[in-house]
Structure formats: structure tokens, C-alpha cells
Amino acid sequence: MIPAAFEYHAPKTLRQAISTLRKYDGEARVLAGGMSLVPMMKLRLANLAAVVDLGRIKGLSFIQEVNGGLSIGPMTTHYDIESSEVVQRISPILAEAAALVGDVQVRNRGTIGGSVAHADPAADLPAALLVLHAKFSIAGSARRRIVRADRMFVDAYTSALEEGEVIAGVHVPAMPPRTGWSYKKLANRASRFAIVGIATQVTTDEQGVCTRARVAITGAGPAPTRARTIERYLTGKKLTPLNITKSATRAIAGIEFLGDVHGSPEYRKHLTMELTKQALTEASERIR
């Protein structure tokens, strides 16, 4: 399919990009990797007056170690993230989730900023960013604002971004010692999107008692979400197989499960509990 006619802008600075977006008063969007936006335009699900390509703006693709954590540019591709030694060392769950996005062509084009802004309910990176307590630096108004990951993913294809705003950076805090991580998903065989995906990070003290548990679920409901019931249940307990199994049954609390051609709500509930058990088991084995 061919998209409807639109204007194309390729600004050289973020400031120019934002002022161009403003001129179109909600009828323009930024273009990053184009892996989601272009198909939407071709299918006429997005009819835009203009696209504002971020691809010619220097300095939007980077991975830096900052205070033991990470600062990542919005145009950094999934492939750059999965193959970065710095990401593998500091936030291995992010590298693990990025490596499971689509296929290598999608990972070579798709960006972290695009994945976050698009807020696909089955996307992988948002779940990892939720357990990492990532923050997003948002440009658009006179002063940049910061949005926390647990405020970013509002609903299906709806993020906390307002009209004319652009994600300018992704910030991930350092991982505490004695932390294990895991990202598990059952992928749609064609697109590789998650039918259900579970991201988890668990931290223990020297006696092996869980001091912090974070679990996020993607694909199951309208938006990726933290499983706080499990997090509360595990905190203060040893990560024994029994406690992990008991906690996994709590994974389904508070989720409005989706049903579609890929899986019924009952199937997604079952997957959520099973993958949570697998992810927590792997995370506890990886504690270092």
C-alpha cells in the first residue's frame, strides 16, 4: 500500500524538529526508524500532513555510562543496545530484551525512542525499562521535563508524551549488587512481538533474602505494567522454588487480559504465570 501524500522535513537540530512539529498543530509526527510509523501510514492508520525525520540530527544516537547507570540517545537502535558491551554490563536485561525484538532488519532500524513513544502493548523494551526504573527526558516546551517509566505507558499506543514533544534521552540507574535479571517471552512466530513477555530484576542481601523485586508484564493487557503484588510478596522472602511458584500465581492480579487471534485471555493468563515463574527462577540463579 502507498501512504497518502505528506510533507517530509529533515531538520538538523532538535529545536528545529520541535518548531516544525508545532507548525503542523498535531498533524505531523517525528520519524525515527520508521518500523511502526511507515506501516501505519501505508495502512492509512496514520494520515499525517508531515513527518519530521530525526535521522539527520547529530548526537541522538549514543550509549554512555553515567554515574554507574546509562544514558541512551533516542535514536539508538535495538541492535546497538543488544550488542553494546556497556549495556550488557550495566543493564543486561535491556540488552536481553532488545535482542528479542523482531528480526535483525527491524533491530537495525528500530530505535529505543520509537519503541517507547509508540507504546505498543506487546513491545519488549518498555517492560525492561519499567523494571529498570528508567526515566525519559522529554523536549518540547521551554524546559525539558522528566517522565518516569511507570508514568510513561498509559494505554495501548498511548504514552505520556504530549503533542509536539520528543523523547530526547533515556536514563537508566545503576543496578545494585547481588541482582539477577531475566526477560522471557513467548513470541508471535511471524512478527516476534510478545504474546506475553515478563521482565524481572531481583536483589537479595548477603543471606539470600529478597530486598527488592521488580516484575513487569507486556503483551497481556492494554499496556505494559508492573506486577506490584508479586513484588510485595517476594520482598523479605528467600527466592526458593516454592516462594517463586507461589508468587507467580499472583502475576495475574489486576490485569485486564487481552484476547485476540494470537491467544485468548485464559491462554495469556496461563502464559503470564508460567513465564513469571521461569523469569524469576532464571533471575534468582543469575544473582551476582
* Residue selected from 73, 74, 121, 164 as contacting ligand FAD according to rule CB under 6 A: 74
Which residues ranging from 89 to 128 are in contact with ligand FAD (CB under 6 A)?
A: 101-102, 106, 109-111, 113-115, 117-118, 120, 123-125
Q: Measured from the CB atom, is 30 or 271 closer to ligand FAD?
A: 30
Q: How far is the CB of 129 from ligand FAD (least distance, A)?
A: 11
Q: Write the secondary structure of 22-38 as one string of H (helix), E (strand) and C (coil).
A: HHCCCCEEEECCCCCHH
Give the other-Cβ count within 10 Å of 213's Cβ: 26
Looking at the DSSP bridge assignments, the partners of residue 181 are: 201
In this structure, what DSSP letter does residue 260 have?
A: B
Task: Give start and end residues of each alpha helix (H) in the chain.
Answer: 14-23, 37-42, 78-82, 85-90, 92-99, 104-109, 112-118, 125-131, 149-152, 228-234, 241-248, 265-285
CA 223 to chain centre: 11
What is d(CA 166, CA 114) in angstroms, rounded to the nearest whole number? Answer: 10
For residue 131, CA distances in Å to 90, 166, 231 come to 14, 23, 11
Among residue numbers 198 through 257, which ones bind ligand FAD (CB under 6 A)?
none
Q: Which is nearer to ligand FAD, 101 or 186 (CB)?
A: 101
Residue with cell 523494571: 131
CB of 1 to ligand FAD, least distance (A): 14
**Residue of 32, 63, 223, 283 interacting with ligand FAD (CB under 6 A):** 32
Single out the residue of 19, 141, 191, 264 in contact with ligand FAD (rule: CB under 6 A). 191
* Choices 175-183, 189-197, 199-207, 259-267 (CB under 6 A): range interacting with ligand FAD: 189-197
Interface stretch with ligand FAD, choices 26-34, 173-181, 243-251, 258-266 (CB under 6 A): 26-34
Q: Point out which residues bind ligand FAD (CB under 6 A).
A: 29-37, 74, 101-102, 106, 109-111, 113-115, 117-118, 120, 123-125, 161, 166-167, 191-193
